[in-house]
């Protein structure tokens, strides 16, 4: 496919700005209808989308079909979110002239920020791509979206974009509310365009940092919401290792090899007690054959990362080989003693994107706590412990570095729910907000307070009679209507 020209980017951004004049006044019911129309259209073409995705990524029919379903589920979740109305965070404080100092009538609500640029991910051609969570959450609150397609799956991106655009048009969404561009220079021009009010990105730390700095260097800087690197540490306590080492080994093997290790939530570092049963069982659970990576550059990066880790003193191979052949790589499990972290923490804790995990053998909990203190932020942290082993100090150490703390299971697989948080301290993400789940919409909203405003100019959610029946806080008291009509 042909790269989008700079003039075309300008035309699309201007069209998005014109569309925003309409979407900012649209109702939640209207936008929910747009999202459900897109979800229905994608479901209708699931077979075609899955074939295109597998042709370009080799991720397989079951994985991709499930990802299409996840994508349409996200769209429908955000439709529910805007209809429910709590995302508006509506607050009313009535005037009180007798207060000291006197209080005016103040009413606060969240409003859409404007057109948004979304950069697609390489590893999820649907759920974090053209019609993924960033696009869905921005459209949900009335922000037009221009998506930069990932070069790893251009055919799939073009097909998806065509379906999204046609569904939105058929559902009555304004012209310019959605578009797709291609090409490196076009992506930079999009970030620079004055019509764009925020950027969302899923990808590497290097790429994210460059876009973050570009967004900040504009004459009018804009927020950048990046989901970047994550090592996702796992701690297995002695009791858990002894009680269920076989099951934990199977779970770890399945998790770090899932999708050939190309998940942002892949467990990259696993703390195991010395003499671990998990470690002893892994050789029979790790594949030996190379599998195709998403792109040649990802495969090359994996090989460089593996070579770098193996050069650290004390690092040995537990299972697999990491053998590479062109775009194909084989899985590998490495091990090192916790004592090596004192001199080599920065090398050992560097993310390797692909089917690799590093076991760190420890002698006691103090070694684990010291090691966790050296870790940067992650999307997830996992603790496998028996009763009485999940001590507050250990849990607090995991909370410090992660946005989601698991106490069972494995981090790969991110449920799309109202309560989900998919974010974490740098470099996991660049903000405190999530990129998955209902509150992902918060990235594309800004608060506005109305002081002593005439009733006629107030948004419906701030009017005294609450015609939309949204949850609100009035004079400090949370009010949740018993039933909310479709809005």
Residue at 99 is within a domain: yes
Same domain, 275 and 299: yes
pLDDT of residue 1: 67
DSSP for 248-301, written as a single string:
HHHHHHHHHHGGGG--TT---EEEEETT-HHHHHGGGGS--S-EE-SSHHHHHH
Q: What is the DSSP letter of 64?
A: H
Q: Model's pTM, two decimal places?
A: 0.93
CA-derived radius of gyration, the chain: 24
Q: Which two tokens stand for residue 284?
A: 């029979």
Same domain, 204 and 265: no
> Which domain does 305 fall in, by range?
234-406
Same domain, 440 and 334: no
Residue (of 201, 33, 47, 209) closest to 121 by Cα position: 201
**Catalytic site positions:** 227, 264
Handedness of CA 97, 100, 104, 110 (dihedral sign): negative
Judge contact between 309 and 332, C-beta under 8 A: no
**Largest alpha-carbon pair distance within the chain?**
77
Q: What is the DSSP letter of 234?
A: E
Same domain, 304 and 341: yes
For the chain, the domain total comes to: 2
Same domain, 355 and 261: yes
Same domain, 384 and 442: no
Same domain, 224 and 238: no
Same domain, 192 and 278: no
pLDDT of residue 326: 86
For residue 402, give the 3-state DSSP assignment.
strand
Same domain, 109 and 244: no
Residue at 264 is within a domain: yes
Residue at 434 is within a domain: yes
pLDDT of residue 487: 47
Instruction: Name 466's Cβ contacts closer than 8 Å, sequence gap at least 6.
Output: 472, 479, 481
Find out whether the peptide bond into 101 is cis, omega within 30 degrees of 0: yes
Residue at 457 is within a domain: no
Same domain, 361 and 239: yes
d(CA 396, CA 399) in angstroms, rounded, equals 5
Q: At what angle do helices 133-140 and 28-44 cross, to 10 degrees?
A: 150
d(CA 411, CA 382) in angstroms, rounded, equals 7
Residue at 424 is within a domain: no
pLDDT of residue 251: 97
Residue (of 484, 486, 477, 474) closest to 109 by Cα position: 474
Judge contact between 242 and 438, C-beta under 8 A: no
Same domain, 178 and 271: no
**Could you tell me the CATH number of the domain that includes residue 373?**
3.40.309.10
Q: In residues, how long is the chain?
A: 487
Each residue's pLDDT, cut to its tens digit, for the chain (487 residues) gives 689 999 999 999 999 999 999 999 999 999 999 999 999 999 999 999 999 999 999 899 999 999 999 999 999 999 999 999 999 999 999 999 999 999 999 999 999 999 999 999 999 999 999 999 999 999 999 999 999 999 999 999 999 999 999 999 999 999 999 999 999 999 999 999 999 999 999 999 999 999 999 999 999 999 999 999 999 999 999 999 999 999 999 999 999 999 999 999 999 999 999 999 999 999 999 998 899 999 899 999 999 999 999 999 999 999 999 888 889 999 999 999 999 999 999 999 999 999 999 999 999 999 999 999 999 999 999 999 999 999 999 999 999 999 999 998 999 989 999 999 999 999 999 988 999 999 999 999 999 999 999 999 999 999 999 999 999 999 999 999 976 544 4
Residue at 132 is within a domain: yes
């Amino acid at each position: 496919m042909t790269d989008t020209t700079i003039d075309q980017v300008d035309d699309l951004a201007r069209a998005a700005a014109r569309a925003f004049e309409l979407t900012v006044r649209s109702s939640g019911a209207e936008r929910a209808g747009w999202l459900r129309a897109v979800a229905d259209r994608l479901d209708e073409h699931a077979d075609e989308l899955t074939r295109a995705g597998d042709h370009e990524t080799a991720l397989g029919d079951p994985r991709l079909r499930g990802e299409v379903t996840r994508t349409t589920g996200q769209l429908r979740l955000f439709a529910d979110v805007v209809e429910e109305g709590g995302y508006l965070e509506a607050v009313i404080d009535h005037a009180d002239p007798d207060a000291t100092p006197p209080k005016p009538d103040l009413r606060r609500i969240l409003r859409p920020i404007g057109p948004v640029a979304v950069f697609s991910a390489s590893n999820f051609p649907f759920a974090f791509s053209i019609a993924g969570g960033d696009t869905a959450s921005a459209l949900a609150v009335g922000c037009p979206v221009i998506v930069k397609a990932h070069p790893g799956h251009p055919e799939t991106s073009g097909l998806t974009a065509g379906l999204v655009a046609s569904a939105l048009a058929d559902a009555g969404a304004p012209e310019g509310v959605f578009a797709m561009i291609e090409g490196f220079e076009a992506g930079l021009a999009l970030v620079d365009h004055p019509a764009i009010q925020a950027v969302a990105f899923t990808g590497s730390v290097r790429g994210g940092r460059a876009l973050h700095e570009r967004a900040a260097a504009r004459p009018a800087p804009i927020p950048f919401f990046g989901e970047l690197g994550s090592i996702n540490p796992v701690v297995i306590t002695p009791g858990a290792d002894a009680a269920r080492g076989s099951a934990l080994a199977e779970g770890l093997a399945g998790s770090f090899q899932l999708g050939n290790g190309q998940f942002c939530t892949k467990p990259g570092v696993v703390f195991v007690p010395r003499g671990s049963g998990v470690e002893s069982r892994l050789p029979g659970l790790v594949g030996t054959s190379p599998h195709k990576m998403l792109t040649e550059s990802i495969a090359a990066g994996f090989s460089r990362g593996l070579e770098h880790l193996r050069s650290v003193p004390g690092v040995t191979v537990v299972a697999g080989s990491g053998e590479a052949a062109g775009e194909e790589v084989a899985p590998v499990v490495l091990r090192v003693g916790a004592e090596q972290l004192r001199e080599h923490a920065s090398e050992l804790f560097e993310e390797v994107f692909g089917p690799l995990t590093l076991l760190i053998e420890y002698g006691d909990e103090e070694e684990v706590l010291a090691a966790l203190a050296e870790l940067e932020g992650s999307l997830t942290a996992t603790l496998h412990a028996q009763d009485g082993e999940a001590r507050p100090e250990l849990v607090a150490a995991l909370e410090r570095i992660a946005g989601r703390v698991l106490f069972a299971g494995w981090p790969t697989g991110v449920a799309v729910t109202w309560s989900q948080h998919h974010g974490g301290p740098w470099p996991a993400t660049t903000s405190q907000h999530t990129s998955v789940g209902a509150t992902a919409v918060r990235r594309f909203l800004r608060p506005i307070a109305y002081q002593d405003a005439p009733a006629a100019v107030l948004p419906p959610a701030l009017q005294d009679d609450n015609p939309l029946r949204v949850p609100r806080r009035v004079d400090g008291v949370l009010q949740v209507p018993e039933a909310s009509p479709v809005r």
